[in-house]
């Protein structure tokens, strides 16, 4: 009787042990599958991130390249370039500088300052009433530079001599459409050494067109 109980006890213990081993195996298998699944998910996430990163980089490169090739930075024109053909081309008029002459004080009777005399012509491209003097002043301003500033020159008295007699006759005449009239203007100088810069623009404060530099030579 005791042997039977012992055998049954062994059988009972063996069943219990088998059950424990089976449960452990299932648990380990489940853990292994979970670990494999987690690794797979991690790899998929990393792959997706890499793909997204590559696409984002490619897009950024394309945008950068497109911007670089299609959008060049605008160059600001400060009007310092030499004026082509000595002509300021505006919407309504063309003003061309023909010649310049330095006239030191005392060159003609009544002259009160050293002057630069500029001979020019104005073409009227419209039906507007435009005279040669106002046409030149709309296109040009005159300056002499010093250490700290650009000194704007004042318009002086027209030379009272035979050479520039035509200026007194022409400066107030109205130029016909497509007509061209010659005139002269004098600027009072700050000194006799510093070059004069004639700055052209499309009217006062308008688009800068260029600069003519006039060396003062007797």
Is the pLDDT at 141 greater than 90? The verdict is yes
Strand partners, 122: 95, 181
Based on C-alpha coordinates, what's the Rg of the chain? 46
pLDDT given at position 125: 97
Is the pLDDT at 118 greater than 80? The verdict is yes
pLDDT given at position 80: 53
Q: Show which of 18, 44, 73 is a domain's final residue.
A: 73
- Cα–Cα distance, 144 to 150 (Å, whole number): 6
pLDDT given at position 6: 44
In whole numbers, what is the pLDDT of the chain averaged over residues? 76
- Cα–Cα distance, 105 to 192 (Å, whole number): 10
- Cα–Cα distance, 88 to 180 (Å, whole number): 14
**Is pLDDT larger for residue 40 or for residue 175?**
175
Residue carrying structure tokens 């002043």: 137
pLDDT in tens, 70-89: 344 444 444 456 688 999 99
Q: Show which of 24, 45, 73 is a domain's final residue.
A: 73
In a domain, 16, yes or no: yes
- Average pLDDT, stretch 52-59? 44
Q: Which residues contact 156 (CB under 8 A, 6 or more apart)?
A: 112, 113, 115, 186, 187, 188
- Cα–Cα distance, 131 to 184 (Å, whole number): 12
pLDDT given at position 203: 77
Instruction: Tokens for 21, please give them.
Output: 């081993």
Cβ pair 130, 174 in contact under 8 A:
yes
Domain holding 94: CATH number? 2.60.40.1240
Q: Are 135 and 59 in a shared domain? A: no
Cβ pair 117, 164 in contact under 8 A:
yes
Is the pLDDT at 21 greater than 90? The verdict is no
User: Length of the chain in residues, anyone?
Assistant: 218
Q: Return the C-alpha torsion angle 73, 79, 84, 90, nearest 10.
A: 100
Q: Show which of 32, 47, 73 is a domain's final residue.
A: 73
Q: How confident is the model at residue 217 (pLDDT cuts 50, 70, 90)?
A: confident
pTM to 2 decimal places: 0.63
Nearest to 141 by CA among 192, 209, 85, 76: 209
Q: Are 173 and 67 in a shared domain? A: no
Instruction: Give residue 199's domain range.
Output: 84-214
In a domain, 165, yes or no: yes
Is the pLDDT at 144 greater than 90? The verdict is yes
**Is pLDDT larger for residue 77 or for residue 99?**
99
pLDDT given at position 206: 82
Number of domains in the chain: 2
Is the pLDDT at 134 greater than 90? The verdict is yes
Supply the DSSP symbol for 130. Answer: B
Is the pLDDT at 20 greater than 80? The verdict is no
Nearest to 196 by CA among 124, 140, 127, 122: 140
**Is pLDDT larger for residue 5 or for residue 121?**
121
């Amino acid at each position: 009787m005791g042997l039977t109980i012992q055998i049954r006890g062994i059988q009972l213990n063996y069943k219990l042990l088998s059950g424990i081993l089976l449960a452990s195996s299932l648990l380990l298998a489940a853990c292994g599958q979970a670990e494999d699944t987690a690794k797979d998910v991690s790899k998929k996430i990393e792959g997706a991130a890499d793909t997204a990163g590559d696409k984002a980089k490619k897009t950024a490169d394309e945008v950068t390249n497109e911007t670089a090739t299609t959008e060049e930075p605008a160059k600001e024109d400060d009007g310092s370039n030499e004026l082509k053909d000595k002509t300021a081309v505006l919407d309504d008029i063309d003003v061309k500088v023909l010649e310049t002459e330095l006239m030191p004080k005392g060159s003609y009777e009544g002259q009160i300052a050293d002057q630069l005399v500029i001979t020019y012509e104005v073409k009227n491209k419209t039906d507007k009433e435009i005279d040669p003097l106002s046409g030149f002043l709309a296109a040009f301003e005159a300056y002499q530079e010093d250490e700290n500033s650009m000194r704007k020159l004042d318009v002086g008295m027209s030379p009272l001599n035979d050479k520039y007699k035509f200026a007194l006759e022409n400066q107030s005449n109205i130029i016909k459409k497509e007509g061209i009239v010659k005139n002269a203007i004098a600027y009072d100088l700050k000194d006799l050494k510093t070059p004069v810069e004639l700055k052209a623009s499309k009217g006062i404060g308008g688009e800068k067109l260029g600069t003519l530099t006039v060396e003062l030579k007797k």
